[in-house]
Chains A and B, each alone.
Chain A
Amino acid sequence: MPERRAAHPGLYPASGEHPPLLGQRCAGCGHVAFPPNPYGCESCGAEPDALESRELAGAGELAAFATVHLHMGKGIEAPFTVGVVVLDDGPAVRATLTCPTDEGLRIGDRVQSVLVSQGSDDDGNETVELRFAPLGASDGGAS
């Protein structure tokens, strides 16, 4: 059976219209973090067993953005636009936006997570990547 896979396993589910980000909350100090880590709490030093999985809603506010012309990353051609998104659930995350350029973007814009198809392999398995779409803008494709 062909399946759908997340380009970043463990950071978000591979399905859903506006998938959550899979973060962490420290039972010791309450610090909420993304991405999750298996080592210990950066805020208080609590050991890994104190770090609870916590879904962070894929919604927030754009705090900064930049259109990238040069990079060494995978799965995308420049130009593309990255943003700093302050999630409603706390942490600020850096993510790729669905819009290739920053035309019309404004700091403070509401954004939400969407899954964008990265193509399928010969067996029909599709890889999807989480990006953020400005609210009201059409999302990237896979849903």
Chain B
Amino acid sequence: MGKTLRELRPVRVVGIGLHRYQRMSETTFVTLGLTAVREALADAGLAWRDIESVYNGTALLGLASTRPMLRHLGASGIPMTQVENASASGSTAFAQACLEVASGISDVVLAMGVDKPAPLAIAGSKTGIRDLVGSRVAPFTHFALLTNEYMHRHGVRPEQVAQVAVKNSQNGAANPYAQRQKARTLEEVLAPPQISGALTRLQCCPIGEGAAAVIVASDDAIARLGLESARAPRVLASVTRTERVYPGAKNFDAELTSETTSLAYEQAGIGPQDLDLIECHDAFAIEELLYVEAMGLCGEGEGAGMLANGDTAIGGRCAVSPSGGLLAMGHPIGPTGAGQICELTRQLRGEAGARQQPDARTGLAHMVGIGAVCVVHVLQAG
């Protein structure tokens, strides 16, 4: 029988760092990455020589991006591995780092993500299997179709879906690392340009550049290096799943999230009622409603009501995407999943300032990627 992360030795997040997510600029990926890693080292109170291994989530930079960046911290000869898992690349880099520490192979490991916008080369388009729509259906149209189906099934209006982007823009306005730092009104979110179906521009995430870094460590290392374990949330669960065959027109995104999240709850020994916050894959506004339902925070069709009640706002029952989420903090691809762990850690330490979820003890990070893949982590305050 295999083991889950929870059954191995404890893994804790000891350092976090980010380079602000932003529109494509002249800044090199080296500067983006080094900024995040240096901030994470300083946050942890560690030196570069304390890091024993690196996993770097990146999808767009091209071959072998890690050493050309990290050699400028002093070429220490440690293992460095690029990780590509579509939008979940940074989440998977974090999962690998956790496994390496939990297994006892290393004591202190860096998980990071860095990317700059570049043309996508998606392997799924090279299988030789064609469908009827091809690239007429971009990801935003896939989610426009889900929006249409959801609104019909549950009698929800476009304004109720757009409120997701309003809430997350308010959260992003309090996050200095967010690409979009402007609180938006419902009117602004609903304003043209119309992208696809009911989706307007501000209901679609911005894809820019940035970097995120997370240092994980064992309890042995925390004691040996004199780190503050009270500032070091424990990783209670790490689960990755891929899409199966679901009957008929069933929404595979929601099904996949539902099964991945239930396994994570089981591993962590918690239920949805125990979550104080979630960092959710809200690349498109409808996703937050679909996923809070799939995660069991409320029943099917009740996501819009939960949002309207303020239950998913900061200060509500379970804050969803206090960072601003992909919609406001942004989605630079490789960094996004690692950036979610930075936000959970900051919140669970009580260091999130104006966007602090009160008494945050338990948080969940959720990413999905085309393919489709879903990665979920659960963290609990140290």
Contact surface of A with B, Cβ cutoff 8 Å? 8, 10-11, 31, 35-39, 42-43, 63-74, 76, 80, 82-84, 86, 90, 92-96, 102, 107, 130
CA distance A83 to B197 in the complex (A): 11
**For the complex, would chain A's binding face be called helix, strand, loop or mixed by DSSP majority?**
loop
CB atoms of A92 and B132 under 8 A apart: no
Check if A84 sits within 8 Å of B136, measured CB to CB: no
24 contacts between A and B (CB under 8 A): A8-B132, A11-B130, A11-B131, A11-B132, A35-B131, A63-B249, A65-B148, A66-B197, A68-B137, A69-B194, A72-B138, A73-B133, A73-B135, A82-B133, A82-B136, A82-B137, A84-B149, A86-B249, A94-B137, A94-B145, A95-B132, A96-B133, A107-B148, A130-B132
Which of B131-161 touch A at CB < 8 Å? 131-138, 140-141, 144-149, 152
* Pairwise interchain contact B196-A69, C-beta atoms closer than 8 A: yes
Q: Does B354 contact A (CB under 8 A)?
A: no
Please report the C-alpha to C-alpha distance between residue A43 and residue B132 in the assembled complex, in whole angstroms. Answer: 21
Across-interface contacts of B194 in A (CB, < 8 A): 69
Complex Cα spacing A84 to B134, Å: 14
Which B residues touch A84, using CB under 8 A?
145, 149, 249
Verify if B128 is at the interface (C-beta below 8 Å from A).
yes
> B130 near A35 (CB under 8 angstroms)?
yes
In the complex, chain B residues whose CB is within 8 Å of the CB of A93 = 131-132
- Inside 8 A of B249's CB, which chain A residues have their CB? 63-64, 84, 86, 92
A67, B196: Cβ atoms under 8 Å?
yes
Among A42, A63, A90, A130, max chain B CB count under 10 A is at A63
Does the CB pair B145–A70 fall under 8 Å?
no
Q: Given the complex of chains A and B, what is the CA–CA distance between A71 and B137 in angstroms?
A: 7
Q: How far is the CB of B362 from chain A (nearest CB, A)?
A: 35
Interface status of B77 (Cβ within 8 A of chain A): no
A66 to B152, CA, bound (A): 12
Nearest-Cβ distance from residue B76 to partner chain A, whole angstroms: 43
Question: Does B78 touch A at the CB level, under 8 Å?
Answer: no
B144: contacting residue among A66, A90, A92, CB under 8 A = A66
- Interface size class, chain B: 20 to 34
- In the complex formed, the residue of B with least CB distance to A76 is B136
Task: Flag if B152 contacts A107 (CB, 8 Å).
Answer: yes
6 closest pairs, A vs B, by CB?
A: A66-B197, A73-B136, A66-B144, A92-B249, A64-B149, A64-B145
Is B130 within 8 A of A86, CB to CB?
no
- Whether, in the assembled complex, B129 has its beta carbon less than 8 Å from a beta carbon of chain A, the answer is yes
CB contact list, B101-140 vs A, under 8 A: 127-138, 140
CB distance from A13 to the nearest CB of B (A): 14
Which residues of the partner chain A approach B141 to less than 8 Å between Cβ atoms?
A: 66, 68, 71, 82
Q: What CA separation (Å) do A96 and B135 show in the bound complex?
A: 12
User: Quick check: B137 and A38 within 8 Å, CB to CB?
Assistant: no
B245 at the interface (CB under 8 A from A): yes
Closest residue of A by beta carbon distance from B134: A73
B149 adjacent to A63 (CB under 8 Å): yes
What sequence of 0s and 1s flags, for each residue 178-199 of chain B, a beta carbon within 8 Å of any chain A beta carbon?
Answer: 0000000000000001111110
Confirm or deny: B248 has a beta carbon within 8 angstroms of a beta carbon on chain A.
yes
On whether the beta carbons of A86 and B128 are closer than 8 Å, the reply is: no
Q: Which residue of A lies closest to B146 (CB)?
A: A64
Q: Are A70 and B132 in contact (CB under 8 A)?
A: no
Q: Which of B136, B194, B197, B248 has the most CB of A within 10 A?
A: B136
A94 to B133, Cβ gap below 8 A? Answer: yes
Q: How far is the CA of A90 from the CA of B246 in the complex (A)?
A: 12
Given A69-B193, A84-B249, A92-B248, CB of A74 within 8 Å of CB of B134: yes
Q: B146 contacts which chain A residues (CB < 8 A)?
A: 64
10 further contact pairs, Cβ within 8 A, besides A37-B129, A64-B148, A66-B147: A39-B127, A64-B152, A64-B249, A66-B197, A68-B136, A71-B137, A80-B136, A82-B137, A94-B133, A96-B132
Provide the residues of chain B in CB contact with A90, threshold 8 Å.
Answer: 248
Residues of A within 8 A of B147 (CB): 66
Residue ID in chain B nearest A42 by CB atoms = B245
Is A65 a contact partner of B145 (Cβ separation < 8 A)? yes
For A86, the chain B residues whose CB sits under 8 A away are: 248-249
Residues of the B chain whose Cβ atoms lie less than 8 Å from the Cβ of A82: 133, 136-137, 141, 145
- Say whether B138 contacts A69, CB under 8 Å: no
Q: How far is the CA of A77 from the CA of B249 in the complex (A)?
A: 27
